[in-house]
Amino acid sequence: MHSVVLVKQVPDPTGDRRLDRGDATVARDDADAVVGPLDLHALEAALTLREAGGGTVTALTVGPPRAAGALRQALATGADQAVHVVDSALHGACAPQTSAVLAAALRRVGFDLVLCGAASSDGRLGVMAALLGERLGVPHLSGLRALAVTGTTVTGERQTEDGWWELAAELPAVVSTHVLPDPPRRRTVAGIRAAQHRSVTTLTLADLGIDPATVGLAAATSRVVTADAGPARTPGRTGDPAELVRFLADRALV
C-alpha cells in the first residue's frame, strides 16, 4: 500500500505569530517553523500501517523553499520518500487553490491512501480532506481518532457530540486525523543524519500542468482585508488557596 502524508510547515503555535504588513498573509519567515501537530499524527498512522502491512510512505508538501524542513523531519521519522511542490506563484494561495495543486501532485505520485491532519494550526479550516476527495473522485473520512486498514478497506472512528461514528471506505481514499492513540514517534539521531542525505523530489506548477495565473494571492477565493490585535489578557487570581476555593464556590452557587 502506498500512503501519502500531507505535511505542512506552520508557524510554531506556541510562539509569536503575525501577519505581513504588505499583503496580510502569514509572516512565515519571521516565525519559528514546525510541522503541523496533527500532521505528525497522520504521519504516525501511516508509519504504523506500513509496519503492519508493508508498503511505502511518501511525505508531500506545498510551500516555499523553507518548507523542505518539514519533509526532512518526515524522512527522519521514517517516511520512505518526499515530494515538495514549490513555486513562487503559490504565495498567498487559498485552500481551494492549494487543494488543486495537491490533487495534481497526488495524481502524479500515485496513492492508495492519503492522510493529513484534520486542520492546520495556522488556517484552522479543516476542509482539505473533503476538497481532495472531491477533486480526486475518491471517498474521504475526516476527523478520525482511530483508523485501520483491512484488505482494501479503511475504517475509523469519528467523535461527535452524540458519541462515536464508525466509518468505512474502499481504497483509494483520503483520511484526516485528530489526535490518535499512539503519540507521534520521535526522530532518532541516525534518522536525522540519514534524512540530510536523502533526495527530495521537487515539482513546480509547470510540472503539474497548472497555470500560475489560477493560484496565488491575486486569484485567491479569500483574503485578509483587515486585522487587529486581540484584547490584552487580564491577570488571573492569585493568593491564598482557601480564598480561591471560596471564590469559586460562591460563583458555582450563583
* Percent of the chain residues past pLDDT 90, beyond the cut: 56
The per-residue pLDDT for range 110-133, each reduced to its tens digit, is: 999 999 998 886 766 789 999 999
The pLDDT value recorded for residue 83 is 98
The per-residue pLDDT for range 66-79, each reduced to its tens digit, is: 999 999 999 999 99
The pLDDT value recorded for residue 168 is 96
Mean pLDDT score of the chain, rounded to an integer? 87
| 3-class SS letters over the chain | CEEEEECCEEECCCCCCCECCCCCCECCCCCCEEECHHHHHHHHHHHHHHHHHCCEEEEEEECCHHHHHHHHHHHHHCCCEEEEECCHHHCCCCHHHHHHHHHHHHHHHCCCEEEEECCCCCCCCCCHHHHHHHHHCCCEEEEEEEEEEECCEEEEEEEECCEEEEEEEECCEEEEECCCCCCCCCCCHHHHHHHCCCCCEEECHHHHCCCHHHCCHHHCCCCCCCCCCCCCCCCCCCCCHHHHHHHHHHHHHC
Whether 177 has a pLDDT exceeding 60, the answer reads yes
The pLDDT value recorded for residue 92 is 86
pLDDT band for position 147 (cuts 50, 70, 90): very high
pLDDT band for position 153 (cuts 50, 70, 90): very high
Q: What are phi and psi of 172, to 5 degrees?
A: -75, 150
The per-residue pLDDT for range 196-211, each reduced to its tens digit, is: 888 899 999 999 999 9
Instruction: Specify whether the CB–CB gap between 171 and 2 falls below 8 A.
Output: no
pLDDT band for position 12 (cuts 50, 70, 90): confident
| Amino acid at site 123 | G
The pLDDT value recorded for residue 28 is 61
The pLDDT value recorded for residue 254 is 46
The per-residue pLDDT for range 235-250, each reduced to its tens digit, is: 766 667 777 777 777 7
Mean pLDDT, rounded, for 54-83: 95
Domains and CATH numbers, the chain: 2-253 (3.40.50.620)
Full-model pTM: 0.82
Mean pLDDT, rounded, for 83-104: 94
